């Protein structure tokens, strides 16, 4: 079941931002062989950055974020209507 304020969560949740960054870095890692001759990029840089972004997403997922409504509070608000 989806939460009622899913768009607010998608706009404000840092975990979503970190997950998108990790996906972008993973995608860039695929193109490294193509741009290898043009730029000096250390081996494993994008993999390390992607891993860091994934860890940050995990941590931000379990931390309380300001401006977000707790799921239990949302359920009680929906029941009151």
Residue 76: inside a domain: yes
Residue 70: inside a domain: yes
Residue 1: inside a domain: no
pLDDT at residue number 69: 60
Number of domains observed in the structure of the chain: 1
pLDDT at residue number 30: 80
Residue linked to tokens 């995608």: 27
Domain that holds residue 59: 7-80
Work out the burial of residue 53: count CB atoms within 10 Å of its CB; fewer than 13 is exposed, 13-18 middle, 19 or more buried.
buried
pTM: 0.58
CA separation for the pair 22, 52 (Å, rounded)? 8
pLDDT at residue number 81: 59
Grouping H, G, I as helix, E, B as strand and the rest as coil, residue 9 is: helix
pLDDT at residue number 25: 82
pLDDT at residue number 47: 82
Residue 2: inside a domain: no
Residue 63: inside a domain: yes
Query: Each residue of 10-61: pLDDT tens digit?
Result: 777 888 888 888 888 888 878 777 777 787 878 788 788 888 888 888 888 7
């Amino acid at each position: 079941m989806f939460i009622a304020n899913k768009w607010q969560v998608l706009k404000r949740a840092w975990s979503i931002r970190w997950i998108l960054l990790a996906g972008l870095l993973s995608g860039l890692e695929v193109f490294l062989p193509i741009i290898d001759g043009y730029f000096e990029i250390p081996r494993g840089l994008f993999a390390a950055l992607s891993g860091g972004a994934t860890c940050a997403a995990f941590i931000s997922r379990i931390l309380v974020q300001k401006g977000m409504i707790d799921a239990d509070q949302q359920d009680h608000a929906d029941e009151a209507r």
